[in-house]
Structure 1
Amino acid sequence: MQLVLFQLVNSLSFGMLLFLLSAGFSLIFGVAKVANLAHGAFYVISAYLGLSITQLSGNFWLGVIGATAVGAALGVLLDRFLLSRLHGQELRQVLLTLGLAFVLSDSIRFIWGSGVRSVSPPAPFDGPVSIGGLFFPSYPFVVIVLGALVFGVMRFVLRRTLAGARIRAVTADPQMSSTLGLSVRGISALTFAAGIGLAAFAGAVGSPQLALTPNLDSSLTLFALIVVVIGGLGSIEGAFLASLLVGIVNGFGAVYFPALAQITIFALMILVIAVRPQGLLGRRTGNA
């Protein structure tokens, strides 16, 4: 029973990291209409940046804040100087972000090396916690709480604020939003920065959970795509639910069915697509 509960906590923690990653991906695609295949690379490079800032300052949370800020700034630069020149050219955007993923991955190898790096959880979350007489590592609970808080904040902003209403309007109908006087380009740029910032935050916060390697980005981008497909494009609630499902399936599959761990995740995606092509909480488009 302790093994099951231990794996459940780790799976939920991984699911929350997937939510932070996939929520940013879904936000960018929904508003800016960019399939950012460098999303996982921003996670990884931000994790390394957070590690360097932590080593220089001796403060883990300062590393998280710094890495998130740098990641969001990189998102602004990417959108301003590269993607804005390819507006409406989906194939070129995909190729650009795919090439950028390779550039970022090689940059990580050049700066930090290609070895595996591990990050220790910050005090006082670097030790075990006792719950009902059972001992668990405490940091996964921090990740779970942070993920839930980010989900609550995002849902409040998107559903209850004027900024959220503008984002939803641009997502639903950019042309009509422009006609009504909304700055579609500005909203898309800010949303892109926020999406990259979420990936950067996930990378910095998740570094004590996942060992850092330069080639981690491809698997994380794949996980983000799977979560978005399962949850439904443009649905933050769907991304949250799908992230938890994928985290649990991946966590328990890796322990009890290690040879089929990857297959179970794709099987879950195929099952959802077969039953609900628009995803768990996505909306049907077109005349269907």
Structure 2
Amino acid sequence: MFVRAWHILHGRPWKINSDEIEAALEGASKLAPPQSRRPKRKPFTPTILSQIHEHFDMTSSLDVAVFACLTTIFWSAARVGEFTLPNLKAFNPTKHVKVSDVSHSTDRQGNPVTRFRLPHTKCSPTGEDVFWAAQSGVTNPESAFQTHITLNKPLPHEFLFSWNNTANQRRPLTRTKFLERVNKAVTAAGLEPLQGHGLRIGAVLEYLLRGVPFDVVRVIGRWSSDAFILYLRRHAVIIARYIQDTPYHQDFIRYTMPPVR
């Protein structure tokens, strides 16, 4: 893709056959040695979030910001980079989420939801919306977020997850600091190290295991394709309820299946 872009930018003819390129890439993928592939990311779960919560100090500015960010990323099935910065000087109010980008609403049944407007994402330069709703227990993103707002008091046009260091200097939460603190809590809880993408994977699995329809999960995770189905193929526990002898939840079936004509 980048080579083709170079040709276009420099006015050079692109004479490569697309079918040949696709076949070559597919062949290279199949011939690649196993050690060249990244290990599969292990998913976070609500249970893991509960276990590591015990190792956060909820009076610490950093810990409060990290745990609020952690639960927001998980329950909105977001990417770590959408709620953290690559470095301390990277904040751009036109591209990064701010306090003023947070809003609240309810549906016709009175169900509340919190909305985060992401001004810019890697898949949408014009921005996207992500949501979460209150959950039970210590992983509740609503209570974690309110604790962060109360303690750290980010200003309306400040980076959403900002905190104060020991010298009382204002700091936006970077990806490195976020993952460093999360992994420290994971280690303290006696758990295996987890990767940041495991949050997004874990959210998908959690919602599917709750019986949320596949199409709805795709909307939550903002997939424009069926790429997320790859998660399903690796987790038989999700498919289990749909292949039993007794059909699972008739109302669910009527909702997801088109009417017979």
Common fold by TM > 0.5:
no
Q: Which structure carries more strand by proportion? A: 2
Larger Rg: 2
TM-score (norm: length of structure 2): 0.28
Q: Which has the higher contact order (CA 8 A, sep 6+)?
A: 1
TM-score (norm: length of structure 1): 0.26
